[in-house]
Amino acid sequence: MLSRVAESIYWMSRYIERAENVARFVDVNLQLILDQPTGMQAQWDPLVATTGDDEVFEDRYGEASREAVIKFLTFDTENPNSIISCLRAARENARSIRENISSEMWEQINDAYLMVTETSEEWAMAEPHQFFTDIKVASHLFMGQTDNIMSHSEGWHFCQLGRLIERADKTSRIVDVKYFILLPSVSHVNTPFDDIQWGALLHSASAFEMYRKTHGLIAPNKVVAFLLLDREFPRSVLYCISKAEESLHAISGTPLETFSNSAEQGLGQLRSEFAYAQVDQILHSGLHEFLDAFQTKLNDVGEDIYKTFFALRPVNGESTQSQSQK
């Protein structure tokens, strides 16, 4: 497979996943606010923090109001991580590799993009739940087509890799931000509101129902364990990096538990760290520090994927940055 094509597939898939994650946590926050005790300040800034773009946001919008945050994360074409920018980038990538993905996949991405460009901001603000649901469904349709139409060969594995690395990153950020906000609110501990807040965290990763089936009652450490360390839930960090590792090895042909390049080495180390971690130890030594370190290492893996598979062409002296496409 052409290096350029592999890179485009990887980013196409990452951007679709990113758009879906943004849609999901904005939607959850909107609903969460409906359940808030009256008189409590609505929290919108954590949402921006989750995307890691808080500085850009502050420069451009200042106060984190409902309207400003939704606009920034959804329709702002100048925010490279807004839903519309992600879908645009996904589509541009897809367009450059149309002959490598099926027509159905292309049409699905094109549809999703056209849908967002044709949606008026007023309508989206008035019917946010419907709008964000449409985005999530579009992403799921795309992933479903990818799984069911595309041969599970190299291209599909690059798709997996992009999607899973993006998802691992986003789940870890959601946990990081939410935990930071939820923990200090001692006054709410064991109140119904506390339960709702932790529930919302699970909803942000579409994990609520699966969590209930596994752990029943909501307890902060179990929520964190579920989102980071569960082996079966497909949005948990451990699940994502394990599957990403499998795809990486399927691409290179190197057996698991060995490595032939730095991407495999880095991801393998990261996966074992999670596989043998225990939630109470993580919480004890500092969740934020743990997740911060994780995100750095995951970025390095992205970097190594780039160097190993995509950079066979002369690089025009660009600086490397793993959170967005070169």
* List 40, 114, 149, 189, residue binding another protein (CB under 8 A): 114
- Name the segment binding another protein (CB under 8 A); options: 183-191, 215-223, 289-297, 310-318: 310-318
Of 31, 36, 43, 110, the residue at the interface with another protein (CB under 8 A) is 110
Q: How far is the CB of 43 from another protein (least distance, A)?
A: 36
Q: Point out which span in 34-42, 50-58, 78-86, 110-118 binds another protein (CB under 8 A).
A: 110-118
CB 194 within 8 A of CB 178: no
Residue linked to tokens 């529930």: 199
Using the rule CB under 8 A, is 278 a contact of another protein?
no
Binding to another protein in span 238-257, by CB under 8 A: 251
Q: Which is nearer to another protein, 261 or 265 (CB)?
A: 261
> Dihedral, CA atoms, 79, 80, 84, 88, nearest 10 degrees?
150
Paired tokens of 34:
């409906």
**Which stretch in 3-11, 26-34, 175-183, 277-285 sits in contact with another protein by CB under 8 A?**
3-11
Distance, CA of 101 to CA of 110 (rounded, Å): 13
Nearer CB in complex with another protein: 40/312: 312
Q: Check residue 107 for interaction with another protein (CB under 8 A).
A: yes
Do residues 135 and 15 touch, judged by C-beta distance below 8 A?
no
Q: Nearer to another protein by C-beta: 115 or 277?
A: 115
> How many residues at the interface with another protein, by CB under 8 A?
25
Q: At what angle do helices 192-204 and 220-229 cross, to 10 degrees?
A: 0
> Taking a C-beta distance cutoff of 8 angstroms, is the pair 255, 264 a contact?
no
Task: Sketch the per residue contact string, 77 through 106, with another protein: x for CB under 8 A, - otherwise.
Answer: ---------------x--xxxxxx--x--x
- Return the closest-CA partner of residue 80 out of 62, 41, 53, 101: 53
Q: How far is CA 147 from CA 15, 206, 252, 285, in A?
A: 17, 20, 20, 39
Q: In whole angstroms, give the CA distance from residue 166 to residue 266.
A: 16
Instruction: Report if residue 313 touches another protein, rule: CB under 8 A.
Output: yes
**Cβ closer to another protein: 114 or 183?**
114
Close Cβ partners of 180 (under 8 Å, ≥ 6 residues apart): 46, 288
The residues binding another protein (CB under 8 A) are 1-6, 92, 95-100, 103, 106-107, 110-111, 114, 154, 251, 309-310, 312-313
